[in-house]
Amino acid sequence: NAAHEVTAFGYGVFGGKQMFEASYIDGLFRLHDQTRGQGVITYDYDNNVNEDVTSVSKMFRDGAAVDAHANSQKTYDYFKNTFNRNSVDDNGQRLLSRVHVGDNWNNASWNGVYMSYGDGDGIRFHPLAGGLDVAAHEMSHGVIQHTASLIYRNESGALNESFADIFGAMVDRDDWIIGEDIMANGAIGLRSLEDPAALIENRTQEPYPDHWSKRYTGTLDNGGVHINSSINNKAAYLVSEGGEHYGVQVTGVGREATEQIYYRALSHYLTASSNFAMMRQAAIQAATDLYGSNSDAVKAVQQAYNAVGVY
Ligand SMILES: CCC(=O)Oc1c(C)cccc1C(=O)O
Ligand SMILES: [Zn+2]
């Protein structure tokens, strides 16, 4: 009964077919991928216990587990292939996920070791494991923890959240919306990098800020980490796609240059207490390192941060 690796499959939360690496261990197929780093493992979290997700065949039947596992692998591959980063710590740390956490929990989280996904209440969210950008957002919190380790409150916390959204949108690459797959009751998404102020989940919500002058300065949400993240999200969107924003013209340089600029800024220049002004300088320096001081990329970064009022 030695463990051996297999290619398995299953259907995710929304019925999409997923193929993924798993293992045959002790007479059952399990969601243990031993091919990436020190492993990618997905558990069913019941009664505060990690239970292996098992199957008697190569077809797994738990949709949330199938999505969490496959999405973890896709996000591992993104950081390895795009930045040559080996997992959250660049040392192959095991990517551990828990699904069915809590009771209809409308949340997802990274706690330093585990990515956790609630099943949602079917009113606000469908099972959150169903969103590739959700998994990428959560794993990115791990990458952030092992690089700049941005303090999770006020402006450094908004940058923390913004990097998680930026890489979420880069992994789930077909749009600039976060959470578009998992919203219930007709909401378009959770946050838009393209037009933060336009995408509100319901009528009670304040529009997300798309300019520094509109930043939230209260104490809710750790000083608005999921709110003011939209200011930097908009800047990153403009660096990539360009556009006119509050009268400022930005010529974009595309997703490939943008992801390299932000990863280098995060891993080489930002520190735990960095604020938005430092974010602007870090992105300019990263773009200079990568593409030269007179490059279109440096110009795009300067114009993008001008456009959102960060100097
Ligand atoms: C897109 C992933 C996301 O935002 O997850 C959270 C949710 C759904 C609620 C509270 C916090 C988070 C988070 O990971 O920041
Ligand atoms: Zn987050």
225 C-alpha to center of ligand 1: Å? 11
Phi, psi dihedral angles at 68 (to 5 degrees): -60, -45
Residue 311, pLDDT score? 98
In this predicted model, which residue has the larger pLDDT, 131 or 204? 131
Q: Which ligand is nearest to the CA of 116?
A: 1
Residue 239, pLDDT score? 99
How many Cα neighbours within 13 Å face the side chain of 19?
2
Ligand 1 near 109 CB (within 6 A): yes
**Residue 2's pLDDT band (cuts 50, 70, 90):** low
Residue 1, pLDDT score? 52
Which ligand 1 atom is at minimum distance from the Cα of 161?
Answer: 15
239 C-alpha to center of ligand 1: Å? 24
Phi, psi dihedral angles at 39 (to 5 degrees): 125, 155
Residue 3, pLDDT score? 79
Among protein residues, the one whose CA lies closest to atom 6 of ligand 1: 108
Which ligand 1 atom is at minimum distance from the Cα of 109?
Answer: 14
Paired with 245 in beta bridges are: 248
pLDDT in tens, 238-262: 999 999 999 999 999 999 999 999 9
- CA-based Rg of the chain, rounded to a whole angstrom? 20
pLDDT in tens, 268-303: 999 999 999 999 999 999 999 999 999 999 999 999
Residue 150, pLDDT score? 98
Ligand 1 near 183 CB (within 6 A): no
Ligand 1 near 142 CB (within 6 A): no
Q: Provide the annotated active-site residues.
A: 138, 226
- Sign (positive/negative) of CA torsion 149, 265, 196, 246? positive
Among protein residues, the one whose CA lies closest to atom 8 of ligand 1: 107
Other Cβ atoms within 10 Å of 98 Cβ, number: 25
Please indicate, yes or no, whether the overall pTM of this predicted structure exceeds 0.90.
yes
Percent of the chain at pLDDT > 70 equals 99
How high is the mean pLDDT of the chain?
97
pLDDT in tens, 35-93: 999 999 999 999 999 999 999 999 999 999 999 999 999 999 999 999 999 999 999 99
ipTM value for the complex: 0.99
pLDDT in tens, 113-166: 999 999 999 999 999 999 999 999 999 999 999 999 999 999 999 999 999 999
303 C-alpha to center of ligand 1: Å? 29
Residue 203, pLDDT score? 86
Nearest partner of 223 among 184, 275, 185, judged by Cα: 275
pLDDT of 185 > 90? The answer is no
280 C-alpha to center of ligand 1: Å? 25
Q: Cα separation of 161 and 155, whole Å? A: 10
Decide: 98 and 118 in contact? Cβ < 8 Å: no
Among protein residues, the one whose CA lies closest to atom 13 of ligand 1: 109
Q: Which ligand is nearest to the CA of 109?
A: 1
DSSP per residue, 268-288: II--TT--HHHHHHHHHHHHH
List CB contacts of 299: < 8 A, sequence separation 6 or more: 251
Ligand 1 near 108 CB (within 6 A): yes
